[in-house]
């Protein structure tokens, strides 16, 4: 938690003219993670957390059932349409406290429509890999967001893809590009979604660390 607070404090004072610009976005640093959210598409564009073994251990030590799932009014809409509420940063990562769990589970700055099969497929495999690395290394940095437009649902953009970037304890980047339609989306298909950092940034049109730490948002 100290790492998150330090990052938020530093972030609040940084604005670089050399950073890439994202339009129609706002930044939110509450709830244990940082979010850059598109206010027109209603999609998270680039979210960030420090995922630690201590946080995961704290979640495991507290029975998951003691933290409610915060029912959401559009759950029924999603399920009827074949979509789930896709979380850029998973609830399990942030369930070490009630405040962060609620912020990750229910707030639109961490949510977008996601096909149900992908939600329990490549996206879940990606999240499990992040947690495995955090448990092994003690702490990793996780960036995640959405990209593109496949369609819309009640005014909410359906992304063409989700993406995740890990910076591990040795400062190595591990990246995945997770298409929401037209590709393999099963749990064991995650390996086919691995891409280089350069390829990810070319697809996105921005570098996630620059957007988070040296933002120029308008």
Annotated binding site for Mg(2+): 119
Maximal CA-CA distance, the chain: 46
Distance CA 123, CA 126 (A): 5
Q: Which two tokens stand for residue 208?
A: 């996630």
Inter-axis angle of helices 122-137 and 53-61, nearest 10: 110
Distance CA 127, CA 178 (A): 12
Query: In the annotation, is 72 catalytic?
Result: no
Cα separations in angstroms, 157 against 38, 111, 161: 10, 11, 11
Q: Which residue numbers belong to the known binding site? A: 119
Catalytic annotation, pick one of 18, 55, 72, 87: 87
Active-site residues: which are they?
A: 87
């Amino acid at each position: 938690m100290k790492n998150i607070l330090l990052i938020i404090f530093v972030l609040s004072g940084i604005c670089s003219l050399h950073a890439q610009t994202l339009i129609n976005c706002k930044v939110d640093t509450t709830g244990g993670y940082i979010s850059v959210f598109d206010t027109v598409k209603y999609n998270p564009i680039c979210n960030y957390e420090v995922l630690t073994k201590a946080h995961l251990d704290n979640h495991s030590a507290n029975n998951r059932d003691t933290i409610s799932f915060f029912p959401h009014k559009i759950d029924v809409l999603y399920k009827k349409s074949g979509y789930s509420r896709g979380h850029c940063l998973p609830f399990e990562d942030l369930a070490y406290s009630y405040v962060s769990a609620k912020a990750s589970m229910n707030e639109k700055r961490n949510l977008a429509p996601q096909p149900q099969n992908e939600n329990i497929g490549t996206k879940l495999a990606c999240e499990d890999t992040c947690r495995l690395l955090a448990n092994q290394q003690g702490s990793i940095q996780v960036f995640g967001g959405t990209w593109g437009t496949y369609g819309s649902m009640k005014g909410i953009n359906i992304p063409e893809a989700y993406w995740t970037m890990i910076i591990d304890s040795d400062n190595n980047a591990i990246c995945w590009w997770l298409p929401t339609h037209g590709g393999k989306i099963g749990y064991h298909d995650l390996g086919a979604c691995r891409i280089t950092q350069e390829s990810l940034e070319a697809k996105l049109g921005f570098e996630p660390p620059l957007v988070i730490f040296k933002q120029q948002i308008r």
